[in-house]
Amino acid sequence: MSGLPSSTPAFRPRRRSTANDSFSHETVFAALRLAAMKREREPSSKAYRQDRFENTERAAKETIEAEQRARREKTERLKELRLSKQGAKDPATK
């Protein structure tokens, strides 16, 4: 034995929490959520929001233009491939 008396807190049996306890985790979490909802948000500047909107708008336009360009290029490649295959099959053009 370590020589500690049995009245030392390390040797006391732990009391289990019950439903009658005045403290519950649900109450604490609910209070924290309520405090977070009541807390004032930091004001964001109008210029920052406008910049973010414009950047998003620009990125969306660039993406749409890139997709359209890729679609046109693919169409051109397929058209050239189809014409070259037709040209190889048509003996009158040779």
11-50 pLDDT, tens digit per residue, is: 555 666 555 555 666 778 888 888 888 877 766 788 888 9
Contact call for residues 4 and 10 (beta carbons, < 8 A): yes
pTM: 0.43
Is the torsion defined by CA of 56, 62, 67, 68 positive or negative? positive
Alpha helix stretches (DSSP H) within the chain: 25-38, 46-89
Residue 70 has pLDDT above 80, yes or no: yes
pLDDT band at 75 (very low <50, low <70, confident <90, very high): very high
